[in-house]
Structure formats: structure tokens, C-alpha cells
Amino acid sequence: MTAVSDLPRFDAAEYLEDPEARAAYLAAALEEGDPAEIRRALSTVARAIGMTTLADKAGLGRESLYKALGDTGNPEFATVLKLLHAMGLRLSVVAATEE
């Protein structure tokens, strides 16, 4: 029997290789609507791209990016928009449907 500690650690960032996968991942987090989950998803996509590369493209300091996307981070909306642009993504809005 395999111990849990012997299993490989799953990291979603390893599977977010293209903009379409990144967009779908972030869209799922946005659909859930939990700010902490959205921040975690942004962090995962940032790691998939590379924090230093993304910070440079977004015009942010690397430490600022780590702080904004860290466990206690709370990125400003302007920062989120800069990150999405640097990720090659954009934010759009659709009408919510009643279930």
C-alpha cells in the first residue's frame, strides 16, 4: 500500500501551458466567486508563467507580486487587470442566468 506522503504532489501550474487552459482555470475560479480562490488561481497561473517574467510584463516588482498573490494577499483590482493583461488574458462579463 502506498503512503500518501509517497504520492507525487499535484500542482495545477504544471498543466497550464497555454492561454486557453489558463483562461479556463481562471474562469472556473471566477465563477465560484470566492475572492481567496480567485487569488489562488491567479497565483497558480502566475507560477505557470513564471513569477519574474509575469512581474516584468505587468510592470510590478517581483516581491509585490508575491505579496499580492500570497496567502494573505489582497490584490487591488488595478493589479488584477495588469496581471491579466500580462498573462495574455482579458476580463469579460456575461449576464448571470437563473438556475
The confidence band for 2, taking pLDDT boundaries of 50, 70 and 90, is confident
Per-residue cell: 38: 480567485
Quickly list H helices, the chain.
19-32, 35-49, 51-58, 62-69, 77-86
Supply the pLDDT for residue 29. Answer: 95
The confidence band for 99, taking pLDDT boundaries of 50, 70 and 90, is low
pLDDT at residue 7 greater than cutoff 90: no
Mean pLDDT to the nearest integer, 84-99:
88
The confidence band for 48, taking pLDDT boundaries of 50, 70 and 90, is very high
Give the span between the Cα atoms of 23 and 5, in whole angstroms.
31
Supply the pLDDT for residue 6. Answer: 81
Nearby residues of 41 by Cβ (< 8 Å), 6 or more positions away: 25, 26, 28, 29, 30
Residue 62 exposure: Cα atoms within 13 Å on the Cβ side: 5
In this prediction the pTM is 0.87
Give the span between the Cα atoms of 34 and 37, in whole angstroms.
5
